[in-house]
Copies of this chain bind each other. A is one copy, B any other.
């Protein structure tokens, strides 16, 4: 995390007198988060992680000339003129198997039985495929000819020593692990996973796994945020409910982490403690964003760490996470900042109404290839985000779209 160096160009809001635009908030955030440092991981734990540095190979792969077919290692010249009608005899003097090379040398008129991947014996320069050979005891009859280098893989054909095999920033795919293994990499330098302190506030909350009782409700944002953080490559540290107590919340804000997410109490009401704490002990740079839902979102920093204040309403919490917190976590972990959601384009079944000056995050369903905005409920209705197939954005310069407009849908089902 960098500490802000230039206060004059910052977008500062007090209360919700003026709401920051989504673009401004993202701009502030992008300027404040940095890719984390590296850690060395055993190869087998590195799938999906992001390379912190270029990786070069110390070795050629393969490190020896190899047979690329099952057949017989020969001197190509010995097969000149061979055909089904003019078969040429060769003496079989041994075999070369993968990992068990032939110890001798192939002389004129000789052949060594060989398998794909085995070392080509010294003296041989080609592989005569088994399909063009008749085997007769300890000799073969070549029924076809091969040219030098035929069915032979050269040293470094796959990877050359000192070449860069994978570049910094690469998110490691399964085949990348195979490649790294083949060059003898036991450990790989990857970007450290961001440690994300999730602070769920609210005296009305019972921990996940409880039954709702009377006016006590069960925390839904905690489990949701943990899953979102894991999806985006972060490591949720010490998640759990913190009561609406300023001391406890401040302790949580200051506990070791790379970024802090606070759920609930992000508005300007009497019990909205977190914004006051960030203002008092750090700096609350953005508070109130021109979007729906999630307008009570806040951002700032404290003890050098970015703090994102997420609204307590679960849909607002999801939306604010997706716009801001997830972006920051992905970037810190070296991933692309963009959403991990798949996208498609489809026409609206009904008009979608918004207001200029506000970004709308509209939950939608796909019905017969068309986009149906969900009419149900507000930001407190989490089932609107589980019934939805995804969401559509209506930008802050738009009043919405008439029915039939083709829109881009971000699909929740990644």
Contact = CB atoms under 8 A, between A and B. Distances in A.
A70 B220 contact: no
Interface residues of A, number: 87
B158 A184 contact: no
Contact of A203 (B42, B98, B171, B227): B98
Contact of A314 (B42, B116, B178, B208): B178
Contacts of A269: 70, 115-116
A80 interface: no
Nearest to A336: B413
Copies in the complex: 2
A383 B116 CA distance: 18
Nearest to A47: B227
A47 B269 CA distance: 33
B218 A184 contact: yes
B385 A224 contact: no
A68 interface: yes
Interface in A170-191: 171, 173-184, 186
B98 A158 contact: no
A6 interface: no
B43 A182 contact: no
A166 interface: yes
A181 B211 contact: no
A378 B116 CA distance: 12
16 contacts: A64-B215, A70-B267, A97-B204, A100-B204, A115-B271, A118-B204, A153-B380, A157-B381, A158-B377, A158-B383, A174-B228, A175-B314, A176-B386, A178-B223, A184-B209, A184-B211
